[in-house]
Amino acid sequence: MTPLYFHIVNVCLHCAVTCLLMHTCERCSFEDSRLAFVTALLFAVHPVHTEAVSGIVGRADVLACLLFLLTFLSYIRSVGVCVSDDSLPSTVSVGCLLVSLLLGTCAMLVKETGITVFGVCVLYDALVLCRRPLIYHLSGSRLGDLLHICSPFIKRACLISAYVVIIMSVRLWLMGGSMPLFSEQDNPASFSPHLLTRILTYSYLLSFNAWLLLAPIVLCYDWQVGSIPLVESLGDVRNVATVLLAVVMVAFCLHCIFSLQRQQSREVLVGMLFLVFPFIPASNLFFRVGFVVAERVLYMPSMGYCILVAHGLGRLCSVVGRWGTTVLSVSMLLLLLLFSWKTVQQNHVWLSREALFRSGIQTLPHNAKVHYNYANFLKDTGRHQEAIHHYTTALRLYPRHASAMNNLGTLTRSPEEAERYYRKALDINPQHNRALFNLGNLLKAQGKEEEAVTLLKDSIHFGPHFADAYSSLASLYAEQKRFAEANEVYLKGIENCPDSSDLHNNYGVFLVDTGQGELAAAHYQQAVRLKPAHYVAMVNLGRLLRSSNENKEAESWYKRALAGDEEGRHPDSARSSVLQHRSLRGGPAGVQRGGRPAA
């Protein structure tokens, strides 16, 4: 849990992507290497990259971007240059082509958006590498002759297309044949019953992402649950931004077409390819995504944005004269400094869990998700009254937040009020395994054992890797003298949750209670292996050994438990718990029966 090394790796990867982007621009986009350098500088300091580089989850985006560029360069290297206007470039290096396929596959496995590099490669091949021969033959050649002339490109395009279909099919198979499932909290627009609302909101989100690239003033780690209200009518003023973006994109496309016909510069085309294609998977156009806006997914599209900005700077400098060039250069320098300052400031947000969640409250106070996250932090640090306030705020902003309802129930001291919160959470989401677990434990404490068994079984069904549910259900069976069923639940829990130290400890206690003490020692030892500071398992093991007259070994386990307590590894009650069992009398100690509420 030392984050320094994660940050070092992420920053090194970001530096590698920046250098590779400059090399790509020099080779495939700009004739002036200074513009490639400006592109790389702008990319290096853009504040929207903070989440991708500072957060470990962003490693996927940074690494996929690196593989994206390597795939693109390998593909370009595999294609020869046009020797004349009447011949298309052929594949000069099959090895480089295979390497590009391998790198593109790795990019896709790292991040789904990595697969878009193949579309960029094919279009760059057709519109840049094959541009002159295609224009030369389009006007006078017959269709059969044209197909024969274009056969090298057609073969490459068919190979890439078939390969993409294969690897997408394999990935879908690995995912169980279905796309990921998301909730309304993740992407409210996709759950709207009105087609117009979905179209208008998705379109506005495109312009919102474009604005984050142009002016990254307001940045947040989470834009879900009400951060961006739905666009529900044509009269919404935000539609102006959508129309403006559409006009700009059409203008860029027309510029690319005219440039293709006149065989002019390719900077705009490359910028558009790098901007549009990597963003397509996040646009909701083909499938539902699990977020409203995510700054880290802009890491790859921002390459195209930086290319377009540098190209615009170069075009302006070519027409404004010497003094105008000086003014533009100074303005660009100020922009880079401003972006650098914003990036440094934004990095402070990622210094700690509290700083991150507090920043969300300050940036988007109307976002229920950030209040929920901050409340979780407050709950974990024992600041329960503040946590209750933020859970309540999250529910006021988004009344259907089942997890906030469940967690609020864990903080109340009134069993009746807690039950009401748990049942409300289950009304919202009947498959909420933590609410099922909490309500089951509550009813178990009230003596309503049959209903408790049903709820705990449902908790396991909807959360098969939730260890506490197995412990709670098994202990309930044990209390009802249903030992065979309890044993079966423990074994199933250990199979599904092999890393749960508490489950091994509790099963050891159960074995001792049922006269199978010889099997319990292995589970106590496994609990300590999984959690070296599990003093309860140490004490239980010591008592078990004492009951077998292995006093010397038992004493060593007691000492280990005491030593751990003295080093401050356990709560204040640990010493008294250990000292309580130093009398070396028999019987199990410290069993955790799963009664603790789960958030």
For 69, counting Cβ atoms within 10 Å of its Cβ (0-12 exposed, 13-18 middle, 19+ buried), the class is: buried
- CA atoms of 225 and 189, how far apart (whole Å): 10
Residue 225 has pLDDT above 80, yes or no: no
DSSP 8-state symbol, 79 = B
- CA atoms of 556 and 559, how far apart (whole Å): 5
Long-range contacts of 178-184 (CB under 8 A, 24+ apart): 179/287, 179/288, 180/290, 182/288, 182/289, 182/290, 184/400
Share above pLDDT 90 across residues of the chain, in percent, rounded to a whole number: 44
pLDDT digits 0-9 by tens, 45-83:
999 999 999 988 899 999 999 999 999 999 999 887 654
- CA atoms of 525 and 533, how far apart (whole Å): 12
Bridge partners of residue 425, in order along the sequence = none
Q: Look at residues 101, 102, 106 and name the one whose alpha carbon lies nearest to residue 63.
A: 106
Residue 580 pLDDT = 38
User: Average pLDDT over the chain, rounded to whole?
Assistant: 84
Higher confidence at residue 508 or residue 589? 508
* pTM score, whole prediction: 0.81
Residue 595 pLDDT = 53
pLDDT digits 0-9 by tens, 530-561:
988 888 888 888 888 888 888 888 888 888 88
Q: How far apart are the first and last CA of the chain?
A: 22
- CA atoms of 215 and 208, how far apart (whole Å): 10
Residue 568 pLDDT = 45
Question: Is the C-alpha dihedral spanning 502, 505, 508, 514 positive or negative?
Answer: negative
DSSP 8-state symbol, 57 = G
- CA atoms of 369 and 355, how far apart (whole Å): 15
Confidence class for position 146, pLDDT limits 50, 70, 90: low
pLDDT digits 0-9 by tens, 425-451:
999 989 998 999 999 999 988 888 899
Under a CB-based contact definition with an 8 Å cutoff, are residues 273 and 124 in contact?
Answer: yes
Residue 145 pLDDT = 54
| Residue 316 CB contacts under 8 Å (≥ 6 apart), including other chains | 324, 328
Residue 565 pLDDT = 54
| Residue 185 CB contacts under 8 Å (≥ 6 apart), including other chains | 224, 225, 369, 398, 401
| Residue 50 CB contacts under 8 Å (≥ 6 apart), including other chains | 219, 295, 343, 346, 347, 349, 350
Question: Is the C-alpha dihedral spanning 27, 32, 35, 41 positive or negative?
Answer: positive
Number of residues in the chain: 599
CATH 1.25.40.10 fits domain 357-532: yes
pLDDT digits 0-9 by tens, 313-366:
998 988 888 888 999 999 999 999 999 999 999 999 988 889 999 998 988 888
Q: Look at residues 585, 528, 590, 587 and name the one whose alpha carbon lies nearest to residue 560.
A: 528
Long-range contacts of 441-446 (CB under 8 A, 24+ apart): 441/472, 441/594, 441/595, 441/597, 442/415, 442/418, 443/419, 444/472, 444/476, 445/415, 445/595, 446/415
For 243, counting Cβ atoms within 10 Å of its Cβ (0-12 exposed, 13-18 middle, 19+ buried), the class is: exposed
* Alpha helices per DSSP H over 48-130: 50-54, 59-78, 94-110, 117-124
Confidence class for position 120, pLDDT limits 50, 70, 90: very high
At 315, list the tokens.
Answer: 């075009």
Confidence class for position 10, pLDDT limits 50, 70, 90: very high
Q: Look at residues 61, 355, 368 and name the one whose alpha carbon lies nearest to residue 186.
A: 368
The region, left, alpha or beta by phi > 0 then psi within -120 to 50, assigned to residue 594 is left
**Domain assignments of the chain as residue spans, ordered by start:** 4-347, 357-532
